[in-house]
Amino acid sequence: MTLTVESLVSIAMTNPINAEITSRLPSLGLNQCLLTAGCLFQAVWNRQAQRPAAWGVKDYDVFYFDEDLSWEAENEVILAAQHLFRDLEANVEMKNQARVHLWYSQRFGGAYPQLQSARDGVDRYLVAGTCIGLDVETGEVYAPHGLADTEHGLLRINPKNPQPELFVQKAKSYQTRWPWLKIVAPEPS
C-alpha cells in the first residue's frame, strides 16, 4: 500500500472518534483548526499491525490559532469542546498554538518560539513522520515531511525541532507499542 493523503484520511476515519471529532469541530468556528498527532498516524500503524484504529490513542489533539492570548479565551474553547464531545469516551485536547510559548518552558523546560499559525505547532513534533494535521474545515492534510516515513515505519528526527534526547525517548515509546518501527539515528551535531 502506498500511503496517500486520501488513504491516510480514509484509514484515520476508521477510528469512529476521529470521524466524530472532525464532523463536530467546525461548529466551534475555530481559526486554522487541525486534528493532529497520534490519532492520525497511529491509525496507519494500527492498520499495518492489524489492530483497531483507536488502539493506543491516548488523546485527540486539536490545534487552532487565536490571536487572543488570554487563558480565558482558550479555556472558553476547552469548555465548549468538552460540552461538544461529552458523549465520546475520548480525551480531546484543545490547544491554541498562539499561546504555547507562554506556558511551554514552565511545563516542559526549554525555550519555545512564538508561533504564527496552527501548522507551526505541527512543525514542532519531535518525529518528522508524525508531523501531520488534518484541517477540519477543508479536509486538507498538512504533512510537511510527507507520508513515506509514516507508511514505512521510519522514525527520524524532525529537522525543524532537533532535540536528540527527547526524540529518542519519543521514538522508543512508539517502538514499544509498534515493535516493527525503525528508529533512524539522528546525525551527530
Query: What is the pLDDT at residue 189?
Result: 63
Q: Is residue 160 part of a domain?
A: no
Task: Answer whether 95's CB lies under 8 Å from 103's CB.
Answer: no
Cell numbers linked to 164:
536528540
The number of distinct structural domains making up the chain is 1
Q: Specify the pLDDT at position 19.
A: 98
**Global confidence as pTM:** 0.95
Residue 161 lies in a domain: no
54 domain residue, yes or no: yes
> Which parts of the chain have pLDDT scores under 70?
189
pLDDT at residue 67, as a whole number = 97
Do the domain assignments include residue 70? yes
Domain that holds residue 133: 5-152
Distance CA 123, CA 120 (A): 5
> What pLDDT, on a 0 to 100 scale, did the predictor assign at position 108?
81
Task: Give 50-87 pLDDT, tens digit per residue.
Answer: 999 999 999 999 999 999 999 999 999 999 999 999 99
> Does residue 158 form part of some domain?
no
Let me know if residue 186 belongs to a domain.
Answer: no
Domain presence at residue 189: no
Tell me how far apart the 2 most distant CA atoms of the chain are, in Å.
48
The answer to whether residue 141 sits within a structural domain is yes
